[in-house]
Structure 1
Amino acid sequence: MATIPLFPLNTVLFPDGRLPLQVFEVRYLDMVKRCIEEAEEFGVVPLLEGDEVRKPGQQEAIGTVGTLARIVEWSAPMPGLMHITCLGTQRFRLLSAGQTKLGLWVGDIERVEDDMAVPVPGEQQDVANALGSVIRALQQRHVAPDKMPLQPPYRLDESGWVANRWCELLNIETPQKQLLLAQDNPVLRLELVQDMLADAGLLS
């Protein structure tokens, strides 16, 4: 068990995913500066109730599964504003959580083992092929590497990696993404993604 600062967001970070953030609230500026100085990670958890920006009297509710985030790029264009880019590293389960006087969420967590490197089954190969097509289309449009929603190495033969990247790309509700993040079987997560892609008419 470990105690870490938490950053509730209206999105879900998956392992190996990149997340750009604009930070301006005092509670998060202090947290980010400390994480940079001490090379520590913080936890990204889904915000299920409330707004990302703190408001007087606002009640917040957060998810119970999240992903550790490591800051890989940062800049401070002006006082009171930081731009950071985070890399998702490892999933965790939230055992307990509370807020400090400044409103920063802090939680006791239990790390979840990384997905096993399971090959994409033949029945789900169309999901990997479709993701490969997305990557090629972005490359053909000469999208700058730092602007790509998907970062190399492209592990298109790995069930968990393919499923996670689709989970980031698909326009689905935060609670549904949290359920996918909580799914420990990477092949089952990929099957669920396949169903959503098929329903949306995105598979040939």
Structure 2
Amino acid sequence: MEKKQLAKHYPAPHFDVIIEPFAGSAAYSLYKNNWEKKIILIEKDEKVYKIWKWLIEEATTDDINKLPDLKIGDKTSEFLHIVHAATKMAFHFKTIKVTPVLARNWEISKRVFASNLYKVKHWKIICGDYSDAPDIEATWFIDPPYKGPSGMGYRHSSAKLDYNRLAHWTHQRKGEVIFCEGECADYLPFRPLADLKGTPQND
């Protein structure tokens, strides 16, 4: 939710191609009319990649509408459900109990998926490291796991990321760079962007 709320603070893309080297939920590419651009997502987490690949290449609105609702108290091992648990540590869970929050988040997401599916059908998704992104002129929306504790929950967490290497790679990008980070970031000259519910965000 934070990224959706912050999207309005980021500049509009100045290039016809948007590349998100850490795809995640692709909140920037989905914001307003950004989705109409040529969108290239890169995602290292294979499970997240497979969700995007299914949405882009295979899923229909009917497919999404037919996905079953979650019942509070049940258990699920489906990753698409688990990532709605409102905790980054969910990436490490194999099975999770359905809470009221999870059930509600899933209900909302199904409606969002169905109503926005047409927007992503021309997108491209690549499974790989951020450095596997095509070296072309574009609007680069770079949103890695944040340096420090806030980026530790993911399978490919901040502990596994060489931030100096990422900074060097970022300087080599062609076009426009929008880079998101948290308050612990010190490897690029970030400046505060917004204070969202007490959590400062830098760009």
Scaled by the length of structure 2, the TM-score of the pair is 0.28
Q: Higher helix proportion, which one?
A: 2
Q: Higher strand proportion, which one?
A: 1
Scaled by the length of structure 1, the TM-score of the pair is 0.28
